[in-house]
Structure 1
Amino acid sequence: MLWLIAEDRFYYQNLTSLKSEYELEDIIVFPNNDDIRNNIQKSNIAFIAPYYPPKNIRSIFVIQILANKYGVLTSQEFKLKVSESKALENRLGLSVIHSPFSLKDIGGAESLKQYTKELLQAEAKGFRAKAIFLVGVPGTGKTFFPKCFAGETKRLLIQLNLTLIMEADEPIARLNAVFEYLSQRHTLNPSERYVILIDEIEKMIGNAEAIEKRLLGRLLTILNDMNTEAAEYKFDAIFFATANNLNSILDNNPELLRRGRFDELFFINLPDSKMAKGVFEIYLNKFQIADEVYSQMNLESILTEIEQYYSKANNAPDRFPYTSAEIETFCKKLHFYKIAYGYVTKEHILESIKLIIPIIKSAEEGVNRMMAQSELFLGV
């Protein structure tokens, strides 16, 4: 017996066409238990609904999923001008964004940009990447880079929030449902591509709760088998996992970082002076304060002032003291002065240097431990 799964209103408005297509006498819409019980022995009868049949009798049905009329969008969503990202977000219960960023929004990070270029070239020849791991100093752009990568490669970005999934009644079933849905969508729309971001994955590692360990184990199994013959789920996605605290991973789950699970392992360090200059230029232009700032101090002088002021706290002399996030905060502070006073002075710039204290000073011990482990990864 046939069970049709349809989210799109189009099919419910065209039941006659469906009957003809599948050579059916009747199609029962939104069946309840009584409908199923009273018709289950009839021939040439089908059921249609946006849900699956009951688990205890599911095996007796041939289940056919009907594609939405507009890719991710149903005809009703298309009419209401719902975005693809919002429609997918509603189905998955996770944050989905159509990233407005691209690699040009990143200052420096040449290793990541070069890897992206090579990856796109390899994909054009049939290569399928599995996952990329980003670890490093907080504020260096570990979460921002996947967003830029998604925008650059025209992929929707799905934020796989493990904490949110843990709040479900059955977390593992909830996790499976996400990948089952993406796999089903791939069957109907094989051109759809995603970036799946697992941010701060170390928060799921080393916890005492058995369910958390099982959830992590399930995730790693799925990740390990992606793009192989053993894969349970088949869809076009590149996973990005980020971490701030590498120590908890090395202490509790070092196998997470083994080769084969991730295509590349990157350590995103503090920027060098050249990269820092590029990041400054991006944010000074973004906040439209470049002319005001340069009329007081040139950029090289500002970088030198910051380097000298925090030289004692910086144990990596070849690196700039500020992370990309701190450079953004610094420029935002100058933007605030422009709004408050109508101008930016040299005193404002020097005061901001004192106020924006870098993480290498505020969390010196922890940052030094992270940087000592950078040799385990490809540096950025």
Structure 2
Amino acid sequence: MLRFELLATAGRARRGRLTLNHGVVETPVFMPVGTYGTVKGVMPQSLEAMGAEIILGNTFHLWLRPGLDVMRQFGGLHRFEGWRRPILTDSGGFQVWSLGGADGRGRRISEEGVRFASPVNGDKLLLTPEVSMQIQTVLNSDIVMQFDECTPYFVTSHAAGADGGHLTTEAEARASMELSLRWAARCRDEFARLDNPNALFGIVQGGMFENLREASLEGLVGLDFPGYAIGGVSVGEPKAEMQRIVEHTPHRLPAHKPRYLMGVGTPEDLVHGVANGVDLFDCVMPTRNARNGHLFTRYGDLKIRNARFKTDERPIDESCACAACGAAGTSTGFSRAYLHHLDRCEEMLGPMLASIHNLHYYVNLMREVREALDAGRFEAWRGQFARDRARGV
């Protein structure tokens, strides 16, 4: 089902190895996001070539399309999308939260679950902890996430309209967190009833309130999940607030189990998370930013739409060995001028190459972190990382 080995530490930072039903994952690790059963614009072979060890799929979207009948026909998500290595699936809680809009009008939350209209065809649907576990069992993902309520940072008032509302109060965050805890117990029971051979993770909630985070953590540890995630960050809060929760929560989770920070973030966010005890990360930023001409490099970020790149013959990042910059064994990569041209012409190869580069950068960043932890020089590496990123392209 799941085995986690802690191989080395440096302060709160951890070097580990996660064994799942579809393979071994070296941690800390970045997981590319494949919401609809594909990492946008990137072939599975390219993901393997860059060293990606685990990717994400989304329970909510795959439930709607292509549906469980198709998933059953293929024996799960792996064969359907042509990915042989481990997969983690989100429970659908965040998607239901985001579908509701800022004021929550698009959904109705109760003890039972969440009722909402399908964004595909308008059908009235009910997603419960039990249904989420049933869907994820059909998907056969290696890591299954509990169904939770994603606590918002800002609540818009129905009466006040789009311009009115308030920051989530402690009472509101507590009610949301306690609902997620009750749902966590139901997920655990249904997961066991289904005899799912994979691993179920609980999700720590509690908004920006440290005491609520501790109460959520205590309740989830009591349920004895194989792994734990920190949810409810990167939901509109200021960066300093996110960093405060990341510094507070992960290291309080059981040391012998993996820790996952959901939906975060920039390269700096990942390194900050590692330094505070996080093992697994995911974020849409590498591919979403790539589609908008925003590229990550060792020496800072590059916006390829800028006119100064029109005649620039250099690769995106001269230190990078991805297929866009010039992978080992190839004669050359592609110039910044060419990427600029593709972007201006709206050629699909542009975002494809940019996505390959950004994902390679994130995957390679975590490889460098692991090597630094193995060598006992994480803090020295972290300092050089910050200096390099500040240098600029």
Shared fold (TM-score, shorter chain, > 0.5): no
Structure showing greater radius of gyration is 1
Structure holding more strand per residue: 2
Structure holding more helix per residue: 1
TM-score (structure 1 length as normaliser):
0.30
TM-score (structure 2 length as normaliser):
0.29
